[in-house]
Every structure is written in structure tokens, then in C-alpha cells.
Amino acid sequence: MMTMDDTPPLHATPQAGMTSPTDLTGAQIAEQAEAIGHRLRDVRAEIGQVILGQDRVVELALTSILAGGHALLVGAPGLGKTLLVTTLGHVLGMDARRVQFTPDLMPSDILGSEILDEDESGRRSFRFVAGPVFCQLLMADEINRASPRTQSALLQAMQEREVAIAGANHQLPRPFHVLATQNPIEQEGTYPLPEAQLDRFMMQVMLDFPTAEAERAMLLATTGTTTATARPVMTATDVIQAQALVRALPVGAQVVDAIVRLVRAARPETTDDPTVREAVAWGPGPRAAQALMLATRARALLDGRLSPGMEDVRALAQPILAHRMALSFTARAENMRLPALIDTLVGRIG
């Protein structure tokens, strides 16, 4: 049974179309969190039947969606990135689509375009034909293979939740989330995302190879006469309600202070650490703190807790900060590694 935290709640502004967190009492928050927590446990169980050996990745992808953000999945081919997005869409009851990014892909191929249409009377008019971005869960496969022009069109849609075609704004469905993938092995013919655009992703999720036990279970489960399938557990409306509840969860002052201290300690301009001042070229902005605040709440709800704790900050520091920081040339030449530096900073916040 979930219990309310003794610390006073701190609320964020709700997104458009969501129930205002201030409309919920503490008892109502606990009741809704209990109900949604059971559904989320079923969601993880269903996904676990299909996605084997990637529990951490599944947790982070669900956390990102519950927090209302987008995620960048980075991993070698064959680790189940496409299957993960398809399974997430099915289990969460969201309309999921996939776009394979290529160098010749144009913005209109993703967003849609206006075509000249002619009715039976011969009258001609322009009609908007929506592109694949008009879905609830979009997999942008190998996003770094598209040209910067196409990348920026998608990232603008991610931020604004709408697209502008021929002077008219078209709202994207709710909820709307992008899970983009990158192959870290092959970089020939790619267009790396600029740092400012990487910041639009709430998390960068690194996919590692599965353990020997998980890989053995994967072989047995996927090479036989039957294939495991997942059943729908939630609907898109349920996801929207869960996202509103995430913003209503109470956050203790200790967690808030830890997030602020961690983000400021990672910036060369605001840190007290001489190593950060010398080794970090640029650090995380305020959006990183906002992402940590929401993601810790989402992870707590996913884990069956009513309010986040320090363990959530520690667990989410790497995926939220790593793509929002960069080491200087000198630090990289001295073989310094950004994950190790982030771990050191996390260890100092308590």
C-alpha cells in the first residue's frame, strides 16, 4: 500500500488537456496512484514476455513516456529497439508507427503535405495529407541518417506538439512521444544531432548486450514454432491520466535540493568542483533539472511508490545528463570519461 510522504508536495504546471494536479487531494492522489500502479506492473510484465534481457531499458522508456518526454535509444543493431517500440505501443494502447530515416528523407515525408485535389465538379482545392508523425508513439529509426533539415522538422514537432503546413497549424494526437534510435557503431553517412537538439530528448538510453542467461532465454523464445506476444493493458486515455498523476505526486525538499545541486555541480559556470570547471566544455541547462524532476516522479509511480527518493535521482542521472554535457578536448585526450564524472557528482549529493 502506498503512503503519503511527510514532506509538503511541490507541483509543476500541468500540460494542456490534463487534469490539474491542484484539483486532487492527498487521498485522491494515493487512490489513483494505487490503481495506476497495479496497471503499470501488468504493463511491465507483458512487455517482459516479449523484450528479454533489457529490463533497465524498458524501465527508462516507460519512465520517459509517463513523464511526458521523448527518448533517444542508442545501441548496436539487433538489440530489440524496434520490437520495444512496437510492444510499448501495443501494451499501452497507443497508435505506434515507424519511420526509417534516410539521407533523402524530406520533412514532408514525416510531417505531411498539401496536395491539389479535384472534386467531381472539377473544382480544385488543396487538401492536407497527414504524415506518419500524426500518431501517438513514433519510432524514428536511425534519426542521425536524416539531413539536418528533416531532423529539425521532427524535433520541432516533438517540442511544439503541432506542425505548421502552408500557414496552418495541425495539432498532433495526445499523447505524442518519439522514441528515436541511433546506431553508435556505424557513423559513415550520418548527420549527428546538434547538442541543442539532443536537449529535446528527456533521456538518452544506452542499450547493452544481454547477459548470457538472457541471451539463452531469448534464443529459446524466438526461434521456436511459437512467438511470445503481449496483450494490451492500458489505453491512450489511461496514459494521459497517468502523466497527469505524475505531475501531482509530492516531492520532498531533499530530492528537489539534490536535483538542483547535481545540475549546478555539472556546469562549469556554477560548479565548485575544479575538475568540472577544467574538464567540462558545457553542462546541462534548466531543462535537465525539469526532466529529472518529472522523471523521478514517474519512476516512483512505476515502482509502486507515491513520492520519489534519492535512489530515483541516482538511477536517472546518467540517462538525463549524459547527452546534455560534453567534455573538453583536453579531458578527452586524457582519457576522461563522462559517465565516470557523472557518477562522481552523483556520489556527492548524498
- Whether residue 164 lies inside any domain: the answer is no
Work out how many domains the chain is built from and give that number.
1
- Whether residue 292 lies inside any domain: the answer is yes
Which pLDDT score, from 0 to 100, does residue 31 have?
A: 82
| Greater pLDDT, 314 or 114 | 314
Which pLDDT score, from 0 to 100, does residue 253 have?
A: 93
pLDDT at 55 over 90: no
Angstrom distance (rounded) from CA 173 to CA 170: 10
- Whether residue 343 lies inside any domain: the answer is yes
Compute the average pLDDT of residues 164-189. 85
- Counting every residue written for the chain, the total comes to 350
pLDDT at 6 over 70: no
- Whether residue 149 lies inside any domain: the answer is no
What range defines the domain where residue 325 resides? 251-350
Which residues does 86 contact at the CB level (< 8 Å), separation at least 6?
96, 98, 139
Angstrom distance (rounded) from CA 80 to CA 103: 23
Name the pLDDT band for 199 (thresholds 50, 70, 90).
confident
Question: If you search the block for the grid coordinates 545501441, which residue do you land on?
Answer: 75
Tens digit of pLDDT for each residue in 76-103? 887 788 888 889 999 999 999 999 998 9
Which pLDDT score, from 0 to 100, does residue 3 have?
A: 41
What percent of the chain has pLDDT above 70? 93
Name the pLDDT band for 135 (thresholds 50, 70, 90).
very high
- Whether residue 281 lies inside any domain: the answer is yes
Tens digit of pLDDT for each residue in 141-155? 999 888 888 888 888
> In this structure, what CATH number is given to the domain that contains residue 296?
1.10.8.80
Name the pLDDT band for 23 (thresholds 50, 70, 90).
low
pLDDT at 256 over 70: yes
- Whether residue 325 lies inside any domain: the answer is yes
Compute the average pLDDT of residues 246-253. 91
On average, the pLDDT of the chain sits at: 85
Name the pLDDT band for 16 (thresholds 50, 70, 90).
very low
* C-alpha distances out from residue 201 to 10, 26, 96, 111, Å: 24, 31, 18, 19
Q: Which amino acid is at 328?
A: S
- Whether residue 114 lies inside any domain: the answer is no
- Whether residue 96 lies inside any domain: the answer is no
Angstrom distance (rounded) from CA 208 to CA 35: 33
Compute the average pLDDT of residues 177-197. 82
Which pLDDT score, from 0 to 100, does residue 260 have?
A: 95
